[in-house]
């Protein structure tokens, strides 16, 4: 989870202290928002946290597809499966 008081820094500060920021990212698993001229421009996070985010997004898409299929079935839009059909 993003901590607004600790996780927003300038890109210049990130460049000057890259090693420390990388260690912070690995320890906290929190993303960092990097600013350019006071405006949020980039988000940086460790690879493990990014992979978890991708997996969560994939799960959400799968659940949305299942929900959509159930709704279509309730509306009579689906087709009955034939018996003995093997995929």
Query: Each residue of 22-39: pLDDT tens digit?
Result: 999 999 999 999 999 999
The Cα 22–Cα 15 span in angstroms is 11
86 versus 38: the higher-pLDDT residue is 38
In a domain, 2, yes or no: no
Per-residue pLDDT tens digits for 44-78: 999 999 999 999 999 999 999 999 999 998 898 87
17 and 31 housed in the same domain = yes
Domain extent at residue 18 = 8-45
Residue 84 lies in a domain: no
Do both 38 and 12 map to the same domain? yes
Residue 82 lies in a domain: no
Amino acid 76: pLDDT: 86
51 and 38 in a single domain? The answer is: no
Indicate the helix (H) or strand (E) that contains 73: helix 47-74
Q: Using CA atoms, how far apart are residues 48 and 83, in angstroms rounded to an integer? A: 44
Q: What CA–CA distances, in Å, run from 18 to 4, 24, 36, 39, 44?
A: 19, 10, 16, 20, 11
**Residue 82 clears pLDDT 80, i.e. is over it:** no
The number of folded domains in the chain is 2
Question: Quick one: 51 and 33 in the same domain?
Answer: no
Nearest 5°: phi and psi at 39?
Answer: -110, 135
User: What pLDDT, on the 0 to 100 scale, is given for residue 87?
Assistant: 57
Mean pLDDT of the chain: 90
């Amino acid at each position: 989870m993003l901590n607004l008081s600790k996780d927003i820094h300038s890109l210049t500060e990130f460049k000057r202290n890259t090693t420390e920021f990388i260690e912070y990212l690995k320890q906290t698993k929190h993303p960092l928002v990097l600013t350019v001229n006071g405006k949020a421009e980039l988000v940086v996070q460790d690879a493990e946290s990014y992979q978890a985010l991708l997996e969560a997004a994939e799960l959400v898409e799968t659940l949305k597809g299942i929900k959509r299929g159930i709704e279509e079935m309730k509306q009579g839009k689906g087709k009955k499966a034939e018996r003995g059909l093997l995929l």
